[in-house]
Structures are given as structure tokens and as C-alpha cells.
Structure 1
Amino acid sequence: MRKRTASTTAVTTSLVLALAACGGGGDEPGATQDGEIAGDITVLTQRTDIVDTVFAEYKEAFEAEYPDVSVTFEAITDYEGEVTTRMSTTDYGDVLLIPNSINPTDLPDFFEPLGTVEELSDTYRFVATEQAYGGQVYGIAITGNAQGIVYNKAVWEEAGVTEVPTSPEEFLDALEAVQEGTDAIPLYTNYADGWPLTQWEGHRGTVTADPEAANALAHTDAPWAEGEEHFVIDSLLFDAVEAGYTEPDPVTTNWEESKGLLGRGEVSAMVLGSWAIVQMQAAAENPDDIGYLPFPYQVDGTFHVNTGGDYKNGINVSSENKAAARAWIDWFADESGYATDEGGLSPRLDGPDPDTLSDFEGLDLEYIELAPAPDGEEGLVNEIDSQAQIGFWSPDYRQRIVDAARGASGESKEEIFADLNDRWAAARAAVAD
């Protein structure tokens, strides 16, 4: 566990004083009369795999520092779906990971502001562009990720693939080599759990090398036109499934089981953020077999890798113990060591760099971070997406692509992309009006 920094202590202390001042003599929930942080808090997490082990250690360390606070964890498998539904009530924990589907304009309705972008940008990454609205920050990242493809190096070596694919065509060729030269499933979609398919959306900006890629969606009627970013990303998924390079029965996939499959070399690759590397290494017979690839696309001979915060810890605006909840958020970002343990980018600007991305060394590669929406367009892309009922960050539309590619729906890629473009154009017109 890393020691608390002076700056963090100052932030927490100032928060407590501010809450006490606003609450009239320390009546603010979560703080006692003398300003001490206290109360019971429920923390929602998606980490069903380590909630009873690693998180139990976090609880012990945190409660040793804050003996008047009691932490209870609630681990949720279908995190996005269940939590989004629960947010129609006030019963969604005290601290929770802000669902990706939440529109920025709705953040103040559900979450407590943590400070201004200007203030927190001096300490934390990802606060200027993610889960912020109106100059206020509503969430702090649990870790930072690069977007790419986790793969089993031993399998690819057995298949004779020794070069990093630089195009979708080269990546499909690599999958074909794996299929012909090994017993491994070349690419695993994790279709049944659904949420892993949303990881494909994380490659915004990698095809265009443009930090404004997400914002540009609000100014086009055809994101799935040939050559456009979503056309490239979703075509790769479709083409891999259609060629038979993915699991034979996608409805029976299992996320937890898939870690062992890739670790043992029964699966060769999965499209996942860099957060997954450590989990795959832990499940591998030889952790050194696990590697990481950039999305197979280059602009002017250079890979562009999107980086950003993972889920952001936020405070339920209806929490009865907001000071205790904020203490947990600060402690988790500053002291828990979660980001380092998971091989991720630290949410702190002065945090350590991960060694999980060492495979990128030697490649002609640039990191990009998506730009915030311009003034007046905050949440516009999400609003169009909701109106179109596509769901960029929900698994449904990419499950549709998989179903079509495997011949289960009778749709073609062209028909799906045309439908998505029509719905997007109509939604843009409706929202603009």
C-alpha cells in the first residue's frame, strides 16, 4: 500500500471542513460533530473475481485508517445493465462505478461533484474529458487503460505469426494462420456475457488518429460508411466471425472461463483493454506468454492507441455518508495500489507507469486521449445514440453483428450498416430539431 500524500490529505481535510460548514456544525452525513469521517458505506464493484480477496485487503487497510467507517462491497456481474436500472431509484450504493451509458448532462442528477476540473487536473488524469460536466468532476478513474488486443504469444509463434499486424487484412491473416496451424480458437468474442463486446468501442480514434473522433460522430450521418472508423472496427469483427475464426457456439461463452482458455493457449486473442492483461497472466500457465497488440490499423505508418480512464468512482447524490464515501474514493485512487496491481495507468499524474505495455516498445506508436466535447455539445453523441437506439456502449448492436456474421439472423453486413446509418441520420435530425 502506498502512503497518503500531503496533497491528498489536504484535499480530504478541506472536503470535510467544507461539508461541515455547509451542514451547519458537522451535521453533514458521513462526518461527526468534530469533523471526523464516519459511517457505513456500500461500494459497488464489477470485480466479482477479487471482491472476496483483494478487496477484503483494501477494506482492512482503509478501515484501519478510518476506524469510524465500515465498508461493505456489492459485486455485480452485469454491472452496466443492473446498475443503470437501479439508478431509477436512490438505491445504488454510496460509492459506485459510473456506468458508461450515463449522459454527461445527467451526472449532476445522480452524482455528487468531487471538485472542479481545474482543481483536480493538477492531481489526476482523465478528469478533463471523462465523467465531467459544467466544469465539475463527478468521477475519478480506478485505473487507466490503453486499448488493444490481448493475445497468447506462444500460440502465435506456433502458428508462425511473428510480425505485429498493421492492418485488418494482416490481422485476419494471422487468425487464419492460428486456425490452420494450432488447436486454438483464433479470436474469442465473449458474446454471451455481452459486455466484453463493448470493448470494441474503445478503439475510437485509433483508425483516424484523431482525438476528436468521438465528437465527430455528432457531425456525420453515416458513421458506418465505407472507410469510416466504425465501418473499419465493426467490419473486422464481422469478417472474423464470418470466416469462422471465433468460438463455434458464441451463446455458450463464459467470461471467467475465457481467462483460462487464453492463458492455456486454447484461445489466441481477445479484444480487451489493457486492464485485462494482468487477469490473463494470472490465469496463464506461463504469464510471459501473454502479450498485447495495438488495434491493427496505421495512419502514415504509425499505430495510434486510445488511452483513457477505466470506470470512475463516483458518489451517489443520495448517499447518507458522503464524506465517508469521498474518503474511500480518494484512498482508492491514492493509496490502494489497485491501478498498479492491475497493470494499469495510475489515475494520479505522479503515479508509476505499468510494465504491462512493454510490448508496445519498439513499435511506431502514439498514444491519444479523446478530447472533451465542445461547449454546447456535452452529451450530444450520447443523446443521438439514445435516440437512434443503437447503444454504442451496450452489447446489443455488436451481438447483432456477430449473429449476422455467423448466419443466425439472415442479415448481411451491408444491411446492418445501412440500417445503423439510417437510424443515426434520423436521430441526428431529431435531436438537432
Structure 2
Amino acid sequence: MKKPLLSVLTLMMLVALLAACGGNNNKPAEATNAPANNATNETSANNEGGAESDISGTVTFLTNRTDMIDKEYVDYAKRFKEKYPNAEVKFEAVTDLDKTTKIRIASGEFPDVVLIPTIPNSELPQYFAPLDDIGLNDRIYFKDFKGHDGKVYGISAGASTTGIVYNKKAFADAGITEIPTTLDAFYAAAEKLKAKGIVPLASNFKDQWTLYPWASEVATSIAGNANLNNERKDTDAPFAMDNAYGQAMTIIRTMYEKGYLEPDVNSTNWEQSKKDIASGKFAMYMLGNWVIPQVADSGTTSDNVGFFPLPYDNSGKTNVALAPDWAYGVNKNSKNLATAKAFVKWMVEDSGFDDFAGFIPVLKDKEPKVPQLSEFNSFNPTYIEAVADDAAATDIVNKAQITKEAMVQEFVLSKDPQSILDKYNESWAKARKAVAK
């Protein structure tokens, strides 16, 4: 998250890909030894069609997909071994991926392949091996997102946009005949759902991580500015009621105040909420397209799940954030470096994880298999493509120990939301001053 904006040409290609999406739905995140001759293995691993027998040893992948352990990952391990008979992959899953991975890499002891946490791109060479030699650079989007000094250190597992995932039958049962395209119409639809006994929006408030859009993607969309988060480095008070951050968080605060969230937001459950959306007990999520297959797999059919841009104002026009998901990174000190790189390449090209997870594929020549993206694009949103995080902004965030989802929680529940913004601005200003020294 720390490099320049992708080229206009790349953006046009990606938007064209989105517009063309369709097909079948093949089904969140905020998830190690045996010696080898790395010089020999690296050569063979990175020559497509090279000697697969040179890829050997065991590698471990640290993931946030706890739901795939003992299920899909078993198949992945089997299929990877079929391609590389002398190699083996193991999977370790954690729930608090970003925090856990930061701790692990800081200790110097972390698995062969991880999903790169939120550290400055300038620090990537300290921990990760360059991936320029595995033959994917010219075939993927977001190549520079996890790069430094012209080298690629991370490759995204896929891309996603954020919007309202909804149960079509729940909308119909509540008498909602048109998808809302203004904020007032969105609140009106929520009121109809509430009157019908349907929880309008599943926030998963207690789990915290699910609140990320309200402090990032929605704010970026309102501002129409991909550099919104980076530009915080230039001010001591980035958070205000009347700017994009305050406006975004005010929407979910309003949903809470009007009773449009779960009856008890402090006792929510992520896994159960997917079943409740599928059954129509809950009507909507404000999350990325990656959750669509998970909802469909939780007790409904894909054609009962819809997807539309959040109307954050009454203009009838919307911007939407387009961003890469977690990026695969390879431990530079892996004892089986070539095998770890081969696994990353296999995950991108062969695993099918992007389809399973409901992602927009990171491979430029692969069409997404999430049909709901066609509905989403029918509202003609303007895509705001993510840029890499500025190192200075990241340093301030880390120094201030700001968790954006926690800020959303406090803002929603406080009797005085301005006081919450003041608190976070104070922390930001102190951290900004400290980092500048």
C-alpha cells in the first residue's frame, strides 16, 4: 500500500474487465523447513514449464481464512503436491491476521508465505523476497502496490469493490421495488425492512473488523480521492464531522440510532450473520464483493443475492473504491524459497481461490465469476482505484496506534461523536510530531 497510482491504461482495462463480468459463482479478509539448494531451485521454479522435481520441501502459508482449514485447503495441498510431487504445503490460520503477522515478522520467525501486513513498503525488503522472477509482473493488476525500489514484494490475492450485498427476497418481502440510489431512499428502504421485522443491516459491530468500510472505502468514495488516507500526513486534524471521514461514519451512526442495525450490536457473530443474511432475517451487508459467495453458501442461492453501490448522498451518483486484497509475500529467509515462490504463483494461476473468494481476479486475462458485479456496474459507479499507502502516513498510523474500526465503534456509540474525533486527532497530532523528529 505504498507506491504510485496505477496507470490510466491499467485502470481502463480493469474497469472494462469489471463491466464484462459474468458467469457462474464458484465461491473474510482484515489472515517451514527442509533444506534446499535455493539457487538451483529458484531457477527451475521461475522458468515456466521447468523441472518441477526441483521444487521440494515443505512450506507453510499463514492465512486469515480459518473457514477453509480442513476443507478447501486440504484440496489445495493435494493439488499443489500433484504438480510438485517433492513439495508439500501446510496451512496455518489466524483470526487477527494483521496484528499476528506483524508480531511474527518482527520476531524474525514467521512462515514461508504470509499475507503481508500493514507495514511501510520501505520495510518490505527487510522481511520479504522479491517476486519479480516468477513470471507474473506483466500479467497482474496492482503490481506496484506492495513494491519498493522497482521490485515486487507482494502479489494481491484478488481485487474487490465495496457496496451493499443484499437478500433480494427480503427486499421484496419488505415491499422495496427499486434499489435505492440516494441516501434518503436508502434510509427509507431500511425503514421498510425494519417495519417488516427484518434487520436492515448486519454490521457485526462487536467483531470490529467488519466496520472497515466506514473509515476507509466509504470516506474515499465520498471524497472522490484515492489519496485521502495518505493526505492525512499533511495535517494535525484529519478527522472532522463535515469531511469525508465524519460523513461516512455518520451514516452508520444514523443506522444505529434509527434501529437499523442488529438489536444488540455488542453480541453479534460473523459466521451466524452470513446465515441470517442468507435466510432473510437480516437484509444487507456493507462489505466487499468477496462476501457474496460466502452468503450464497450459507443457505441460499446465488441469484437471491444482489449487490449495489452505497448511495452516500442524494446526488444519485456514486464513487466506489476498487482495491487489492491481502498480498502474498514470501519470507526472504525461507529454507525452501523456490518452493514458497512456486506456491504463490500456483495460488494466483491454478488454485481458483479468487473465484472461490468472490474476487475480481488479479490476473488481467481472467474474467471474474461473480455475476452480481454486473448488477453493481449497471448503476454506473465511478471507480476510485486504490493507491499504495504513503510511508509517512503509515508511520503516523502505527505510532498513534490507531485502529480505524475502533474509531468507528466509538463514534457510533458516543453521545458526543465530535469528542471522539477530537481524541483521534490529538493522537494523530502527537504521532505526527514524533515521527517528524
**TM-score normalized with structure 1 length:** 0.83
Alignment pair present for 1:365 and 2:381: yes
What does residue 126 of structure 2 align with?
Answer: 109
Query: Structure 1 CA distance, aligned partners of 2:77 and 2:129?
Result: 22
From 60, 63, 68, the equivalent of 1:45 is 63
Query: Structure 1 CA distance, aligned partners of 2:423 and 2:183?
Result: 23
Query: Structure 1 CA distance, aligned partners of 2:255 and 2:432?
Result: 30
What is the CA distance between 1:146 and its match in structure 2? 1.0
* Paired residue type of 1:53: K
What is the CA distance between 1:361 and its match in structure 2? 3.5
Relative to 1, partners in 2 of residues 1:56 and 1:202: Cα closer, same or farther, differing over 3 Å? farther
State the SS of the aligned residue for 1:308.
Answer: strand
From 71, 76, 81, the equivalent of 1:63 is 81
Instruction: State how many pairs are aligned.
Output: 393
CA contact (8 A) 1:213 1:370 kept: no
Deviations along 1:392-425, one digit per CA (max 9) or x if unpaired, are 3xx3222323432xxxxxx411211222233333
From 230, 255, 269, the equivalent of 1:254 is 269
Query: Structure 1 CA distance, aligned partners of 2:254 and 2:424?
Result: 17
Two-structure CA RMSD over aligned residues (Å):
2.7
Relative to 1, partners in 2 of residues 1:163 and 1:426: Cα closer, same or farther, differing over 3 Å? farther
State the SS of the aligned residue for 2:223.
Answer: coil
Query: Structure 2 CA distance, aligned partners of 1:225 and 1:397?
Result: 13
Alignment pair present for 1:337 and 2:357: no
CA contact (8 A) 1:144 1:307 kept: yes
From 194, 208, 218, the equivalent of 1:194 is 208
* Paired residue type of 1:87: I
What is the CA distance between 1:90 and its match in structure 2? 2.9
Query: Structure 1 CA distance, aligned partners of 2:122 and 2:184?
Result: 40
From 417, 421, 427, the equivalent of 1:423 is 427
Query: Structure 2 CA distance, aligned partners of 1:388 and 1:338?
Result: 35
What does residue 317 of structure 1 align with?
Answer: 332
User: Aligned residues: percent identity?
Assistant: 32
From 105, 112, 124, the equivalent of 1:87 is 105
State the SS of the aligned residue for 2:221.
Answer: coil
CA contact (8 A) 2:182 2:315 kept: no
Query: Structure 2 CA distance, aligned partners of 1:116 and 1:162?
Result: 52
Relative to 1, partners in 2 of residues 1:120 and 1:62: Cα closer, same or farther, differing over 3 Å? closer
Query: Structure 2 CA distance, aligned partners of 1:34 and 1:343?
Result: 30
* Paired residue type of 2:394: N
Relative to 1, partners in 2 of residues 1:20 and 1:35: Cα closer, same or farther, differing over 3 Å? farther
CA contact (8 A) 1:204 1:306 kept: no
State the SS of the aligned residue for 1:401.
Answer: helix
Greater Cα shift, 423-432 or 340-349: 423-432
Query: Structure 1 CA distance, aligned partners of 2:246 and 2:152?
Result: 33
Q: Which has the higher contact order (CA 8 A, sep 6+)?
A: 2
What does residue 209 of structure 1 align with?
Answer: 224
What does residue 198 of structure 2 align with?
Answer: 184
* Paired residue type of 1:381: A
Higher helix share: 2
Query: Structure 2 CA distance, aligned partners of 1:299 and 1:351?
Result: 35
* Paired residue type of 2:88: S
Query: Structure 2 CA distance, aligned partners of 1:272 and 1:164?
Result: 17
What is the CA distance between 1:429 and its match in structure 2? 3.7
What is the CA distance between 1:302 and its match in structure 2? 2.9
* Paired residue type of 1:52: D
CA contact (8 A) 2:116 2:329 kept: yes
State the SS of the aligned residue for 1:70.
Answer: strand
5+ long unaligned stretches in structure 1: 1-17, 27-32, 405-410
CA contact (8 A) 2:53 2:84 kept: no
What does residue 271 of structure 1 align with?
Answer: 286
From 383, 397, 401, the equivalent of 2:407 is 397
* Paired residue type of 1:246: L
What is the CA distance between 1:297 and its match in structure 2? 2.9
* Paired residue type of 1:386: N
State the SS of the aligned residue for 1:91.
Answer: coil
Relative to 1, partners in 2 of residues 1:258 and 1:298: Cα closer, same or farther, differing over 3 Å? same
Query: Structure 1 CA distance, aligned partners of 2:428 and 2:90?
Result: 42
CA contact (8 A) 1:209 1:299 kept: no
Query: Structure 2 CA distance, aligned partners of 1:325 and 1:413?
Result: 47
Query: Structure 2 CA distance, aligned partners of 1:333 and 1:356?
Result: 22
Runs of 4+ in 1 over 6 A off after TM superposition: none
**TM-score normalized with structure 2 length:** 0.82
* Paired residue type of 1:245: Y
CA contact (8 A) 2:219 2:247 kept: no
Query: Structure 1 CA distance, aligned partners of 2:412 and 2:199?
Result: 16
State the SS of the aligned residue for 1:207.
Answer: helix
What does residue 47 of structure 2 align with?
Answer: none
Alignment pair present for 1:98 and 2:116: yes
Greater Cα shift, 297-306 or 261-270: 297-306
